[in-house]
Amino acid sequence: MAVLLPAILTVALLVPVGLASAAKPLTPRKDATSVAIVTAGDWGTEFIEGAELAAETDLPVWVDTVFTDDLAKLPSILERFGRRSFPLVIGNGYLTEAPLLDVAPSYPNTLFVAVDGNASAPNIATVGFDAYSGSYLAGVLAAHVTQSDFDTRLNTDLKVGFVGGMDISVLVPFSSGFVDGASSVPGGVSTTVDWVGSFTDPDVAYDLAAAQIADGVDVIYGAAGGSGLGVARACSDLGALFIGVDNDEYYTNPGFENVMLSSVVKDFGRADYLVIDAFMGDTGDLVPGGDPWVVGLAEDAVRLAPYHDFDASLPQPIKDAVIQARLDLITP
């Protein structure tokens, strides 16, 4: 179900980190439904706090957000909200999967939601991101860019590349979406796909990207977790453009702004807002123990990041082609 982006959320995403919770009371409002958002890892703090502000503005809810890098604390954090009888508890990121599965059975009256996870239980619903469509747009962008000459690092070989972390089912939509997107663009662009075999080996990722660049690839999409830093570094060192993944890597991986064409962003804040809205409206999108609710381009939960330093030089026809590809994907 596509849900239109509330105007307040657009404003909320511009709020500096921490402002969303600065003036809220320390205890839940009696006239509001209590909701918890627990985030493990760096999934865009500013977007998640923006979702908190938007939800509390649009809906009769009181939202408590917790961010932690200490995985050992996740079970106790989730249990705290269960003991306080929060009707809805959202876990952001795959690292919350196991703690959710451990804690949820003890609190059957709480609905736990795994965002970008794969946890299924009688009181756990799952929300996934449409990685294929976002990666498809990355492929469209890359194929158009490699056929252009707006940047001196672009050559005439018409080759783009993908470097993934591991060749596993969860990453197949990233690679296949990118390949299909690039193939959809006329001009005979070829795509090279390589796998690091790890999410934590930037040196191998560097070597794979370097080999692609030596073979004429001039735009690389890296979906490799921590290994992706090696791809970005190779692009910077050897003269290619880079497309990041998950977060807007222009901000999360500073130092590579000169090659950061865009990123395929999974907006956890937007997904959290959609979850809260669906829960409060009893829309049927959240199915405990059932299939994941997949959100993507239509819901603005997946999108390409801004072009940042390339915005002025990237030809308008390329921008228009990406916009049209998005419209084609979300139009029935």
The second-level CATH assignment, the architecture, of 131-265 is 3-Layer(aba) Sandwich (3.40)
CA separation for the pair 248, 236 (Å, rounded): 17
Identify the burial level of 238 via C-beta atoms within 10 angstroms of its C-beta, where 0-12 means exposed, 13-18 middle and 19 or more buried.
middle
What is the mean pLDDT of the segment spanning 148-160? 98
pLDDT for residue 274: 96
pLDDT for residue 50: 75
User: Could you report the per-residue pLDDT of 77-98, keeping only the tens digit for each?
Assistant: 999 999 999 999 999 988 899 9
Supply the DSSP string of 212-246, one letter for each residue: HHHTTEEEEEEE-GGGHHHHHHHHHHHT-EEEEEE
Among 23-37, 54-68, 100-114, 166-180, whose mean pLDDT is lowest? 23-37
Residue 88's beta-bridge partner residues?
35, 111
pLDDT for residue 41: 74
User: Could you report the per-residue pLDDT of 15-54, keeping only the tens digit for each?
Assistant: 333 333 333 445 556 678 999 999 987 666 666 777 888 8
CA separation for the pair 288, 26 (Å, rounded): 30
pLDDT for residue 73: 93
Identify the burial level of 80 via C-beta atoms within 10 angstroms of its C-beta, where 0-12 means exposed, 13-18 middle and 19 or more buried.
middle
CA separation for the pair 7, 121 (Å, rounded): 34
pLDDT for residue 23: 39
239 Cβ partners below 8 Å, 6+ apart? 153, 213, 218
Q: What are the helix (H) ranges across 24-152?
A: 45-58, 74-83, 97-103, 131-146
Measured CA distances, 133 to 64, 140, 147, 242 (Å) = 31, 11, 22, 18
User: Could you report the per-residue pLDDT of 267-283, keeping only the tens digit for each?
Assistant: 999 999 999 999 999 99
CA separation for the pair 182, 124 (Å, rounded): 37
CATH 3.40.50.2300, the chain: domain bounds: 7-129+267-295, 131-265
Q: Which tokens sit at 177?
A: 């979406």
Q: Which tokens sit at 30?
A: 């009696």
CA separation for the pair 110, 86 (Å, rounded): 6
Mean pLDDT, all residues of the chain? 89
CA separation for the pair 293, 23 (Å, rounded): 33
The domain made up of 7-129+267-295 has a fold known as: Rossmann fold (3.40.50)
User: Do the Cβ atoms of 52 and 63 come closer than 8 Å?
Assistant: yes
Phi and psi of 261, rounded to 5°? -70, -45
User: Could you report the per-residue pLDDT of 300-325, keeping only the tens digit for each?
Assistant: 999 999 999 999 999 999 999 999 99
